[in-house]
């Protein structure tokens, strides 16, 4: 069985086990993987040494939320991940994956800054930025907030708007993107999210909906 298949199955089983909703589930993992791939393809031309870290980048991108404290005790999540990765990659690579996914969240970076991961620093930023790019999906944010607001769409929209105004739409101002691909793509996604927000504002005002 291909490693990619096993990784996606692990995400699917873990989301069911810990009741991780779709905003941080399999679809999100796939989106982060695709962004990580696009960033990697641009960066490896500048840094050929990344070729040896390709698996670490893609594995981290796929499973990064399977230890998210919003859903699972982080230590338990990391333990599950470490057990899953045994005999699939080297111990050194497992340690790199653990370090990347434990320090890449927005809240961690805002509080502690970027960690020093040595030879895996570039790989870390690729995965971190891929996850940040998926944050521009306003509907994904709405889905997460709907779960928290007991299905109240107005509450979900207001909470999502607050998060976007104070976090997501500030990503570039906060200088969170370092790679050329992310700097360019984030501007495109920024505009798309504004259009999506405007659509929601119009929909929520329709009296017959």
Count of domains in the chain? 2
Shared domain for 116 and 144, answered yes or no, is no
pLDDT confidence tier of residue 1, bands split at 50, 70 and 90: low
Residue 23: give its domain's CATH number: 1.10.3210
Considering the domain boundaries, does residue 130 fall inside one?
A: no
pLDDT confidence tier of residue 209, bands split at 50, 70 and 90: confident
Shared domain for 145 and 120, answered yes or no, is no
Shared domain for 97 and 157, answered yes or no, is no
Considering the domain boundaries, does residue 129 fall inside one?
A: no
Considering the domain boundaries, does residue 106 fall inside one?
A: yes
pLDDT tens readout for residues 35-53: 999 999 999 999 999 999 9
Number of H helices, E strands in the chain: 10, 0
Look up the domain containing 75 and give its range.
1-124
Shared domain for 113 and 13, answered yes or no, is yes
Considering the domain boundaries, does residue 143 fall inside one?
A: yes
Shared domain for 115 and 94, answered yes or no, is yes
pLDDT tens readout for residues 49-68: 999 999 999 999 999 999 99
Shared domain for 151 and 93, answered yes or no, is no
Pick 109 or 209 by higher pLDDT: 109
pLDDT confidence tier of residue 104, bands split at 50, 70 and 90: very high
Can you tell me the distance from the alpha carbon of 123 to that of 121, in angstroms, rounded to the nearest whole number? 5
Looking at the chain, list the stretches that DSSP marks H as alpha helix, in order from N- to C-terminal side.
3-17, 26-46, 54-63, 74-85, 91-103, 106-112, 121-134, 138-148, 153-166, 180-204
**Quick one: pLDDT at residue 151?**
79
């Amino acid at each position: 069985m291909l490693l990619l298949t096993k990784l996606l199955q692990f995400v699917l089983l873990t989301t069911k086990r810990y009741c991780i909703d779709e905003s941080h589930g399999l679809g999100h993992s796939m989106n982060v993987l695709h962004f990580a791939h696009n960033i990697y393809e641009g960066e490896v031309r500048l840094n050929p040494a990344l070729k040896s870290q390709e698996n670490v980048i893609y594995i981290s991108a796929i499973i990064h939320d399977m230890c998210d404290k919003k859903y699972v005790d982080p230590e338990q999540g990391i333990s599950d991940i470490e057990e899953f990765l045994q005999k699939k990659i080297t111990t050194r690579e497992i340690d790199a994956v653990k370090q990347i996914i434990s320090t890449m969240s927005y809240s961690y970076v805002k509080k502690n800054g970027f960690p020093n991961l040595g030879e895996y620093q570039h790989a870390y930023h690729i995965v971190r930025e891929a996850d940040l790019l998926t944050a521009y999906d306003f509907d994904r944010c709405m889905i997460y907030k709907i779960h928290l607001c007991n299905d109240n769409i107005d509450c979900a929209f207001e909470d999502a708007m607050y998060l976007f105004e104070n976090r997501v739409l500030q990503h570039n101002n906060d200088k969170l993107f370092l790679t050329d691909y992310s700097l360019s793509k984030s501007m495109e996604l920024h505009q798309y999210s504004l259009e999506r927000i405007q659509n929601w504002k119009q929909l929520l005002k329709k009296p017959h909906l």
